[in-house]
Each structure stands twice: as structure tokens, then as C-alpha cells.
Amino acid sequence: MPLQEMHDIGRPEVLRLTDVWKTYYGGHQAVKGISLTIGQGECLGLVGESGSGKSTLARCLLMLERMDKGEIWLNNRPLHELGTSELRNARREMQVVFQNPSGSFNSKLTIKDSLLEPIRCQNKGCPSFLGDTNNIEEEIAAKLLEKVHLPARYLNSYPSELSGGQKQRVAIARAISVEPSLIVLDEPTASLDVSIQARVLNLLKDLQEELGLSYLFISHDLSAVNFMSERLMVMQYGKMVDLCQRKELFAPERHPYTKQLLELFDVK
């Protein structure tokens, strides 16, 4: 199936990128004409080896970097046309979970304050999925930890007192706290022990099903992307070379690079 035919996702769109290009100084084209859509409640997997342009594309869609050309629509709002103030407000609808959980926290803030920081900044109040908390911050923070299977005793701890897997769970709790339209997961398990990776992936999947979350899941690991995603997009040298439903991943028409990744990660 031609790539351009795969953009009909059959559900309300959260995100649409159209013909996005990004060139760095020196002429290196990191992203070359990428178009994609993510539907409400969907996980789109983005896979490719280091240097394929995945993280650059993520920074562009988060408007952390200005693209050279293209359009980015979030909930039908043209991010590429917004002024600074409007863009700041619109970007609050997107949250990110990064590869290195240790770098995601202010070491001087307790876990409680780290969890509540986005809610305070956005004046959101208690997330609707937590039920009645009477907007008591301690209770909100404790219930957020409960959502990611951590006990409330960690609320007064500091990031340095938690393991890598625990910190990534807190990062996930913080990301869902403001009920974003989209969560970008940029190699969220790459820095974790193998024994912890599967638990974090299962947590992300359970939260997606429970809360109807929309994800862009970025990884170099095709097996992780295959586990998480309904559709998979493959990038190589800044270009999209493949896009398919998960059930079509092993179809004969897959791109040679996709087949190479399937062999490399022994995906079955």
C-alpha cells in the first residue's frame, strides 16, 4: 500500500504533520518531507537507527525547533502559524517523556513538587481521571503515584533517592497529570535495565487503554515499537521509508530497511 494512503486513520485527529523539512547549518537535512497523523487514543510508533532523524522530527513537532518548511496541526490548530504567546499555550497540550529520567527532574524539588509543577503552572486543578480529591495537593500527588504503581511514601523523596525505573514512572505520572492531547515518548526505556523495560512498556500501554491517551512512541528498538503501536513508521536518513499497520509489518511489500530491522531485533 502506498505510504500516502496510510494517513487515513479512521478516528479524530490529534496531530497532523504535513511535508516537514529541517536542515541544520552546514546543509545537513535531518528531516526530509515527513507527513504523519496521530489519532485520538492511538499510539504511532516511530522507529529508526541513531541519526535517522527521529528526535529532530520530535523537536520540530513540539515546536522546540523551527522547521524549514511544513505544517503542524494540533487539535486542528496550526502551530506553525501561531505567535509566541499562542504557541506557548498550545504546546501545553503536549507532554514529553525523555530517554534519561534523571535529566527530567530538578534535583532540588521533592517528587511531590515535581509531580505538581505542571498542574500548578497550568492552573489545571485535579486531573479528572483521579476522581474526587477536593483539590488537595497531597492527595492528587499520591493518586498520581498510585497510577504508576508507586507508593505515596516517595512523595517527600528527592530524585536522587529513586532508581531509574522509579524516576521514569514519576515522569510518566507527571506527563499524564495535565491530561495532554499527545504524549511524545522519546526512547523512554532505552536507559533502563532490561528487566525494567518491559514493566514500563506495560504501564504505558495500560495507561493508554485506561485513559485513552495518544502517543508518539519513538525508539530505535523495533520490538518495543511493535509491542506499543497500532501503526509503525520507519525513518532512514531523514525520510519516511515505510508506514504500516502492525498486522502488516511482516508483509512482503515492506521496505528492505524495515525487513533489516525485523532481523536485527528478531521481531516475530
Query: pLDDT, tens digit, for every residue of 228-254?
Result: 999 999 999 999 999 999 999 999 999
What's the pTM? Answer: 0.94
126, 159, 179 — which closes off a domain? 179
Please check whether residues 188 and 166 belong to one and the same domain: no
Please check whether residues 114 and 160 belong to one and the same domain: yes
179, 205, 237 — which closes off a domain? 179
Say how many domains are in the chain: 2
Please check whether residues 22 and 81 belong to one and the same domain: yes
Which position has the grid cell 507527513? 35
Please check whether residues 212 and 135 belong to one and the same domain: no
pLDDT at 9 over 70: no
The C-alpha atoms of residue 69 and residue 112 are separated, in whole angstroms, by 40
Please check whether residues 245 and 208 belong to one and the same domain: yes
Mean pLDDT lowest for which of 86-90, 157-161, 249-253? 86-90
User: pLDDT, tens digit, for every residue of 130-144?
Assistant: 988 888 999 999 999
- 132 located within any domain: yes
pLDDT at 6 over 50: no
The C-alpha atoms of residue 242 and residue 3 are separated, in whole angstroms, by 7
Which position has the grid cell 485513552? 212
- 54 located within any domain: yes
Neighbours of 24 (CB within 10 A): 12
Please check whether residues 86 and 207 belong to one and the same domain: yes
Burial class (CB in 10 A: 0-12, 13-18, 19+), 15: buried
- 61 located within any domain: yes
Q: Find the mean pLDDT for residues 86-109.
A: 92
Q: Find the mean pLDDT for residues 47-71.
A: 94
Please check whether residues 73 and 108 belong to one and the same domain: no
144, 162, 179 — which closes off a domain? 179
Answer for the pair 197, 241: CB distance below 8 angstroms, yes or no.
no
User: pLDDT, tens digit, for every residue of 177-216?
Assistant: 999 999 999 999 998 998 899 999 999 999 999 999 999 9
- 98 located within any domain: no
Spatial CA neighbour of 215 closest among 51, 3, 46, 7: 46
Q: What angle do CA 229, 234, 240 make, to 5 degrees?
A: 130
Whole-number average pLDDT of the chain:
93
CATH code for position 205: 3.40.50.300
Amino acid 102: pLDDT: 86
Please check whether residues 195 and 265 belong to one and the same domain: yes
Q: Which residues pair with 43 in a beta bridge?
A: 215
Q: What angle do CA 64, 3, 60 make, to 5 degrees?
A: 5
The boundaries of the domain holding residue 60 are 1-93+182-268
Please check whether residues 172 and 148 belong to one and the same domain: yes
Residue type (1 letter), 40: Q
Please check whether residues 121 and 135 belong to one and the same domain: yes
Please check whether residues 131 and 165 belong to one and the same domain: yes
Q: Find the mean pLDDT for residues 155-184.
A: 96
Please check whether residues 40 and 166 belong to one and the same domain: no
Banded model confidence at residue 3, pLDDT cuts 50, 70, 90: very low
Amino acid 8: pLDDT: 55
pLDDT at 7 over 70: no
The C-alpha atoms of residue 140 and residue 86 are separated, in whole angstroms, by 28
